[in-house]
Amino acid sequence: MKTNFRIFTLVLLTAVMVSCRDQFTEVFTANSPIYMSYDELRAAVKPAAPRDLENPGKIYFKDDYIFVVEEMKGFHLIDVSNPASPQKKAFVQIPGCVDIAVKENILYADSYVDMVAIDVSDINNMKEIKRVKDVFPYTVPPAGNEYRLAEVDKEKGVVIDWEVKKVRQEMEYQYYPVYPIFYRGYAEKLDGAYYTASAGISNSSGVGGSSGTSFGVGGSMARFGLYKEYLYTVDNRNLYMFDVKVPSAPSSIGKQNVGWQVETMFIYGDYMFFGTTTGMLIYDLKIPTYPEYIAQFWHATSCDPVVISDGYAYITLRSGRTCTGNASGTLNRLDVVKLSADYKNNNLVMSYPMHEPAGLGIDGDILFLCDGDAGLKVFNVSDKRKIDVNQIATFPGIQTYDVIPVNNYLFMVGDDGFYLYDYSNLQNIKQIGLIPVKK
């Protein structure tokens, strides 16, 4: 009987020790989350007076307006009907906004875990008209220092910032993904995707009530894309799909895994091209609700956006901390890839060394390339094997990020602000406008 009692006592003590172990706490200096409640998040979208650019990110063109995303805060609306004199018209607050797209007079934007639809037909009364809740994964912003992240309680809302302080918590806790890919302001400022309005164009009302095509035009770093009656958004591995047949009433129709380390998305014709840190993936959109994998083109590990034109892919590869395996800073180049008619057999034509390439845009045979702090570079690419000796112009001394060429005007965003160029005369491309970043 005594032996059985000892065994029972030993088992009981072991159970107590095991159960207590899960309750051990530690005190340490950490990045403690600052929350915005879900109620606050879902009441925060509102127009405001024009404001200074501080941390510009993605750009988007529709009708006579440029939308410039203010990282994680919303977007600036800029009237470029007179490109030589761009005018800031309004700012719309959207917490957690990183990317946008516009169909007809409806703007779609991410807002942390939600996707919101905003009516922009009247620029003096822009307003949220629909929200698709909890469609994007829960993520947190980068902390920007070496302290650990404290435990995150998703029930309290979204994490909008961090404060460094002493915290007490259980030793075992869950980490949440941060924004190294979505968020331009992190690490090497590389992320993105691109789409073109080459498919599904129709005349309709537009921004500010003007008439125009159904879709706008995004920069090469965007992750939002429109195709016919669908909106696509992509993170580093999943494609999120929305039905926007009725633009003012978007609905989620699911998601699909499309790979790993996806950075860019370019919709060209009936195909979708993903730029990843290890290459380009190609998907067929013949079934828009279930894109079909077609082929891949591998390259060395690097950050890259991709644009497509007339049977060729132009891919910039950039070294940086966000690209695992390419932190040495030795791989910076432009790749030109010949695409087969069915996109299944694609071959590298030439590679050209660059300084620190990021976004790019193409208009016919003219390629505009953002080469980091080496500035904006313009090339004639009619001869794919002699692009390096056919540089038309260069604008050094500015930190460039992304471009959109439209109707002989180039819209460019960089660390210093929003730039406008007139390239109607290729022998005399000139800067005609600038909205600087607030210093």
Instruction: For residue 31, give Cα distances in angstroms to 151, 164, 168, 176, 386.
Output: 9, 5, 12, 13, 51
Instruction: For residue 271, give Cα distances in angstroms to 125, 198, 237, 266, 328.
Output: 36, 11, 18, 8, 34
For residue range 268-290, what is the model confidence (pLDDT) as tens digits?
A: 999 999 988 888 999 999 999 99
Domain residue ranges of the chain, discontinuous segments joined by +: 23-257, 354-439
pLDDT band at 7 (very low <50, low <70, confident <90, very high): very low
| Architecture of the structural domain at 354-439 | Beta Barrel (2.40)
H/E stretch holding 280: strand 279-284
For residue 48, what are its two tokens?
Answer: 């405001």
For residue range 292-334, what is the model confidence (pLDDT) as tens digits?
A: 999 999 865 666 788 999 999 999 988 764 444 444 456 899 9
Instruction: For residues 242 and 110, give the distance between their C-alpha atoms in angstroms, rounded to a whole number.
Output: 13
For residue 316, what are its two tokens?
Answer: 């910039």
- Please check whether residue 231 is in contact with residue 246, taking contact to mean a CB–CB distance below 8 angstroms: no
Q: What is the percentage of the chain residues whose pLDDT exceeds 90?
A: 69
Instruction: For residues 100 and 95, give the distance between their C-alpha atoms in angstroms, rounded to a whole number.
Output: 13
For residue 298, what pLDDT is reported? 82
Please determine, for residue 183, whether its predicted confidence score (pLDDT) is greater than 80.
Answer: no
pLDDT band at 192 (very low <50, low <70, confident <90, very high): very low
- Please check whether residue 384 is in contact with residue 349, taking contact to mean a CB–CB distance below 8 angstroms: yes
